[in-house]
Amino acid sequence: MQFADRLNKVETSAIRELFKLLGKPGIISFAGGFPDSALFDVDGIRAAVNQALGEEPGGALQYGATEGYQPLREQLAAFMASKGAKDLAPENLIVTTGSQQALDLLGKTLISPGDKVIVEGPTFLATIQCFRLYGAELISAPIDADGVQTGALEQLIAEHKPKFVYLIPTFGNPSGATLSLARRKQVLEMAVKHQTLIVEDDPYGDLYFGDAPPPSLLNLSANVPGSRDLLVHCGSLSKVLSPGLRVGWMVAPAELLAKATMCKQFSDAHTSTFAQATAAQYLKAGRMPATLAKVRAVYAERAQAMGDALRKELGDAIEFVQPQGGLFVWARLTGAGGKVADGNVFAKRSIDEGVAFVPGTPFFCAQPDHATLRLSFATADVDKIREGAARLARAL
Ligand SMILES: Cc1ncc(COP(=O)(O)O)c(C=O)c1O
């Protein structure tokens, strides 16, 4: 079959290949990026479904506006306001089919073949694939424990004049890193100085374990004149409520929102009205704060257990920053004591020992660090996390 040229630049994800091996009986998986299904607020969602069908069945089951179901846009604007984006109107956002669709719409509306886009090294794999599908030339900006290195980022912006910069500033996937407050301000100032569009992808910001992370770029943009016009913010209910709902949203300047809405019309007409009405009722019922408190507590315990177990079992063969939120530990093999130092080799040996994680290389669009690994603590309980770490030690 003759496929479109655009497919030539995209390979099947290495992670997908790895997932085929996860069916092995008894395997402990730290590989997924899923939230734990045992934490879904089934009663709350069932009540929201009943409300949605009881109150406005027409709205929940009929075709709807491409921009989104208005009561959900209102609830999402209020949810964002409760987190500090006080000046946001429902019209400033559209509902998307997961935040993944927001990324796709950004690709569709902004990227022409050969356009440059700056992403973090490492970044979310599906973003790399999606932007490449539209022909983007991706440029990798280095990160450290405080997120993207702003000095290097500014140089790259000046040199490459990218179409936009894509960042996951809070509990990044896969890095777990959070951009410091000082750097957040610098990023917004840089956007204005170089007139560069910044995309803030923020599916994990609510999953913090101790203190709340610094305010989002969206919240901070109110204090940096001109920056709101150069900022896109993507949100999602996937990691905090349910990915199966496929409810995400995108806040963007009006001109971009209009183009994205037009493209969305050709993609899926609108996000499922049934899912949107359910999400709207769920938010309206005021259940979100309790749900967030519950998931934060469970993931905090698991993150601590994983950090402790990795330190105990793997010692100086591995190094990582203890995550303060999100779903992932991002680690590096040190090769200490002649132990394995390549993430891909270690992943294969680990599967033989009955434990899986994702090697870090696919998360880099350029110059991969082969010693890196991403381990999710979200879906295994504390006992499994400890057992998994012991198996990892055997695979070293
Ligand atoms: C950084 C990041 N962005 C976007 C997504 C897409 O999430 P969803 O489409 O479920 O909202 C994910 C999911 O893993 C992610 O990690």
User: Which pLDDT belongs to residue 15?
Assistant: 67
Q: Which amino acid is at 268?
A: D
- Which of 40, 238, 379 to mutate to test ligand 1, by most ligand atoms within 8 A of the CB atom? 238
pLDDT at site 83: 94
CB 268 within 8 A of CB 97: yes
Of 96, 99, 149, give the one whose Cα is nearest residue 124: 99
Q: Is the CB of 32 under 6 A from ligand 1?
A: no
Q: How far is the CA of 34 from the centre of ligand 1 (A)?
A: 10
- Pocket-testing residue among 94, 201, 240, 268, ligand 1, by greatest number of atoms within 8 A of Cβ: 201
203 CB contacts (<8 Å, ≥6 apart)? 99, 173, 234, 235, 236, 238, 239, 248
Residue 13: predicted pLDDT:
66
Ligand 1 centre to CA of 101 (Å) is: 9
* pLDDT tens, position by position, 31-47: 989 999 999 999 999 99
pLDDT class for 147, splitting at 50, 70, 90? very high
Testing ligand 1's pocket by substitution, the residue of 94, 97, 99, 264 carrying the most ligand atoms inside 8 A of its CB is: 99
Query: Which pLDDT score is estimated for 24?
Result: 78
**Ligand 1 atom, smallest distance to 103 CA:** 4
What does the DSSP assignment read for 59-89?
HHHS---TT--HHHHHHHHHHHHHTT-TT--
Give the pLDDT mean for 325-331. 98
* pLDDT in the model for residue 22: 73
Q: Tell me the mean pLDDT in the region 233-251.
A: 98
Confidence of residue 85 (pLDDT cuts 50, 70, 90): very high
Instruction: Establish whether residue 99 lines the binding site of ligand 1, counting it when its CB lies within 6 angstroms of any ligand atom.
Output: yes
CATH of 5-41+290-395, one of 3.90.1200.10, 3.30.9.60, 3.30.70.100, 3.90.1150.10: 3.90.1150.10
Say whether pLDDT at 332 is over 80: yes
Burial call 205-243: b when 16+ CB within 10 Å, e when fewer? bbbbbeeebbbbbbbbbeebeebbbbbbbbbbbbbbbbb
Residue 250 belongs to what H/E stretch?
strand 247-251
Q: What is the pLDDT of residue 9?
A: 79
Average pLDDT rounded to a whole number, residues 246-268: 98
Q: What is the mean pLDDT of residues 268-297?
A: 98
pLDDT band at 98 (very low <50, low <70, confident <90, very high): very high
Give the pLDDT of residue 14.
Answer: 63
Q: Is the distance from the beta carbon of residue 248 to the nearest atom of ligand 1 less than 6 Å?
A: yes
Q: What are the sequence ranges of the domains in the chain?
A: 5-41+290-395, 42-287
Domains 5-41+290-395 and 42-287 share a fold: no
The pLDDT assigned to 35 comes to 97
| Per-residue pLDDT tens over the stretch 157-203 | 999 999 999 999 999 999 999 999 999 999 999 999 999 999 999 99
CATH topology of domain 42-287: Aspartate Aminotransferase; domain 2 (3.40.640)
Structure tokens at 393: 């030690």
**Mean pLDDT (the chain, rounded):** 96
The pLDDT of residue 23 is above 90:
no
For residue 11, what pLDDT band results from cuts at 50, 70 and 90? Answer: confident
